[in-house]
Chain A
Amino acid sequence: MVFLFIVIPLLVAAFLPLIGKFSKKLIPDVLTNAALAFLLFNSILLVKPVFNQGSVVQNVNWFGEKINLQIALDGFNLFMLFTISLVSLGISLFSIDYLEHYGYKANFYALLLVMIAGMNGLVLVPDLFSIYLFMEVAAVASYALVAFGLGSDELEASFKYLMLSVVASAFVLLSITIIFGLTGSLNFQAVAQALQDLNARYVVGVCVAFFIMGFGLKAALVPFHAWLPDAHPSAPAPISAMLSGLLIKVSGIYALFRIVYSVIGMTPVLSQVLMAMGTISLVVAAFLALGQKDIKRMLAYSSISQVGYIVLGLALGTPLGIAGGLFHLFNHAVAKGLLFLNSGSIQHITGTRNLDELGGLGKLVPITAGTNLVGALSITGVPPLAGFWSKLIIIIALIQAKQFGYALVAILASILTLWYYLLIQRKAFFGKTNPKWLHLKEAPFWMSAANVILALICILVGIFFTPVFKTWISPAAEALAQGIQHVLMWGI
């Protein structure tokens, strides 16, 4: 049942603090990871019904009485569910060992599960106000998780993140209120139908502007990106991976593009505006990433840059562009999650994140170095890893749509990305070994295992990209490209 995606994490999260009083380490670990593995399995099982039917709409019955819990599952939703389940399983495996730094494991897992439940809810529900509500659920959990270590850096970053994020949520709700005033309903299907019948282009334009301000801040598009370079480095490594890999994509990109494509309808002007914003993010963040000394801060700027890439692909409007954008979303989630987890490993082993102090770790900790290399190469787009295919598809789509300027900028920015990633590799892993690190051992088992699993996914998706593309990405791209018609056919 699709509803389990939201209920199971919430139930486990509710009981974890109680369980945590009895068993500090073992049972929370087992319970959380089992729950997430079950969700991943479930999301793979759902591929067949969606593939055959097109969209699955479920009404939940509570002891025979029909309550109004509607869940609509189409290609786009399923794709996001799969991505969320996969990356969050990797992150929770990593946390088994990493949390020794912080203690209080049961509470951490509980907050993580609430965040995952919020993201799953956001993805599944076909109603405007519920999207806002689940976004708030995930956001409140993330404020607490960023500040989890209670150090002064973390508290400062969490406070700034909170202030900016609350204003963004207020703008989103304001926009939803205006749409409610125009159409009198909040359901996707009813709103899409009503906006077609009315002809209020000007007011809808204002609403879309508010949505871009609100969701753009959640997705860290330039100029709304100021919170990200502080929040992601200060958070504990699994939380950085979760925020950077999943939260900015689900509550920012998914929500924005779902509303723009399926409810309001993409217009050429909007497409140009979004593509311009994506390109500005891409370039500005790439330049800002060059001068960074802290590994995680550089990865945070790289996240902003790659999100610009994803928005560029998704805003293009052609099925190939959308497919490329979605594929890059998946690749970036896996690879950036891997890189942040890896930086957590490095911090665990050496105790520092400063690039100037690290050096020549490649021979000492081969697993960490190898997985870091795989992640970096995947993001920069080196064949045959997965990132190469997604970037190639976006560039081909741009050329096909005759947007040569954007294609050129995209290629140049890729080269810039390659440069600063290779800089990390050279400084941290290759080169002369700093005598301080000669006595290092490899990272603990679960941390390395999570790294290896995510790296293997990068490699395998790169090699076997055609079946992955046909099963997950094409249905999702079609669902989006059909625009409003797709939602109107749901028949809720």
Chain B
Amino acid sequence: MVIQTLLLCGLIIFSGLAIIFKDLLKAALSLAVASLCLGIIFFRLGAPYAGVFEISVVAGLITVLFILTIALTKKEREIKEANLTRIAFPLFFILFLIIDGLVMKSLLQKVPALPSEPEAGIFGEVLWKQRTFDLVAQIGVILAGVLAVLALFRKKEDEKDE
């Protein structure tokens, strides 16, 4: 339990750092470390497949995509953010933590829920047999993403000004 809490706090801290860092590259790497923490949290919750996916895809693939974009937009990465928002962030953060803690504490024992039956089967069966429609939709999403990237990076025959 202690490790779990430490990991969760690590997740929050690294996500906060991803906003506060001025350099975009450091922000992307901090996001990757946060994904790593989340992956380990998933492992410890008893969801190893989700943990593996999270680490390999989000901490790996998406971070690579981010770094690729940052490299392609090199010249003007340094946009001056207002200092006011940077200072105000910790204040709002702590305020939200207090409100959140109070709300969650007041909801304890007040939310009814159905008792859960123990689950049967292995993961492969659940994914392929129970959620088969989701797989069709996943194919659709991947297709949409691929076609979108192809469409947005096409070579125009003549440069027309809009």
Chain A neighbourhood of B116, CB < 8 A: 184
B66-74, B88-96, B106-114 - interface stretch: B106-114
Contacting residue for B143 out of A13, A108, A200, CB 8 A: A13
Least CB distance, A62 to chain B, in whole angstroms = 9
Restricting to B103-156, which residues have a CB under 8 Å from any CB of A? 111-114, 116-117, 128-134, 136-141, 143-145, 147-148, 150-152, 154, 156
A137 and B114 contacting across the interface, CB-CB below 8 Å: no
Contacting residue for A198 out of B112, B130, B150, B154, CB 8 A: B112
| Nearest residue, chain A, Cβ from B111 | A203
Interface residue A480 (Cβ < 8 Å from any Cβ of B): no
| Nearest residue, chain A, Cβ from B136 | A6
Restricting to B5-42, which residues have a CB under 8 Å from any CB of A? none
Interface residue A182 (Cβ < 8 Å from any Cβ of B): yes
Least CB distance, B33 to chain A, in whole angstroms = 22
Restricting to A118-135, which residues have a CB under 8 Å from any CB of B? 118, 121, 125, 127, 129-130, 133-134
A43-51, A138-146, A360-368, A420-428 - interface stretch: A138-146
Chain B neighbourhood of A129, CB < 8 A: 131, 134
Interface residue B157 (Cβ < 8 Å from any Cβ of A): yes
A150-158, A375-383, A403-411 - interface stretch: A150-158
A143 and B148 contacting across the interface, CB-CB below 8 Å: yes
Interface residue A26 (Cβ < 8 Å from any Cβ of B): no
B113 and A182 contacting across the interface, CB-CB below 8 Å: yes
A200 and B139 contacting across the interface, CB-CB below 8 Å: no
Interface residue A401 (Cβ < 8 Å from any Cβ of B): no
Least CB distance, B34 to chain A, in whole angstroms = 17
Chain A CB count within 10 A is highest, among B112, B113, B136, B140, for B140
Chain B neighbourhood of A13, CB < 8 A: 143, 147
Interface residue A10 (Cβ < 8 Å from any Cβ of B): yes
Chain B neighbourhood of A200, CB < 8 A: 111-113
CA distance A107 to B141 in the complex (A): 15
Chain A neighbourhood of B144, CB < 8 A: 111, 114-115, 118, 137, 140-141, 144
CA distance A115 to B143 in the complex (A): 11
Known interface pairs A117-B140, A183-B114, A199-B112. Does A107 touch B162 (Cβ–Cβ under 8 Å)?
Answer: no
Interface residue A147 (Cβ < 8 Å from any Cβ of B): yes
| Nearest residue, chain B, Cβ from A137 | B140
Contacting residue for B137 out of A68, A134, A194, CB 8 A: A134
CA distance A125 to B132 in the complex (A): 12
A198 and B114 contacting across the interface, CB-CB below 8 Å: yes
Contacting residue for B147 out of A110, A149, A181, CB 8 A: A110
Which range holds the interface residue count of chain B? 20 to 34
Contacting residue for B139 out of A10, A111, A182, CB 8 A: A10
Interface residue A223 (Cβ < 8 Å from any Cβ of B): no
A121 and B136 contacting across the interface, CB-CB below 8 Å: yes
CA distance A115 to B148 in the complex (A): 12
Known interface pairs A148-B151, A184-B116, A200-B111. Does A114 touch B133 (Cβ–Cβ under 8 Å)?
Answer: no
Interface residue A356 (Cβ < 8 Å from any Cβ of B): no
A68 and B130 contacting across the interface, CB-CB below 8 Å: yes
CA distance A382 to B111 in the complex (A): 52
Least CB distance, A325 to chain B, in whole angstroms = 28
Per-position 1/0 for A330-348, Cβ under 8 A of B: 0000000000000000000
CA distance A111 to B148 in the complex (A): 7
Interface residue A431 (Cβ < 8 Å from any Cβ of B): no
Contacting residue for A140 out of B112, B128, B141, CB 8 A: B141
Interface residue A136 (Cβ < 8 Å from any Cβ of B): yes
| Nearest residue, chain A, Cβ from B157 | A103
Chain A neighbourhood of B139, CB < 8 A: 10
Interface residue A69 (Cβ < 8 Å from any Cβ of B): yes
CA distance A461 to B139 in the complex (A): 37
The chain B residues found within 8 Å of chain A, CB to CB, are 111-114, 116-117, 128-134, 136-141, 143-145, 147-148, 150-152, 154, 156-157, 162
15 contacts between A and B (CB under 8 A): A7-B136, A68-B129, A103-B156, A110-B143, A110-B147, A114-B147, A121-B137, A134-B140, A136-B137, A137-B144, A140-B141, A141-B147, A148-B151, A194-B114, A200-B111
What 8 A-B pairs have minimum CB-CB distances, sorted nearest first?
A151-B162, A144-B148, A133-B137, A137-B140, A140-B144, A141-B144, A114-B144, A107-B151
Task: Give 4 new A-B contacts, CB below 8 A, not counting A17-B147, A103-B157, A194-B114.
Answer: A68-B132, A68-B133, A133-B137, A144-B152
The chain A residues found within 8 Å of chain B, CB to CB, are 6-7, 10, 13-14, 17, 67-70, 103-104, 107-108, 110-111, 114-115, 117-118, 121, 125, 127, 129-130, 133-134, 136-137, 140-141, 143-144, 147-154, 181-184, 194, 197-200, 203
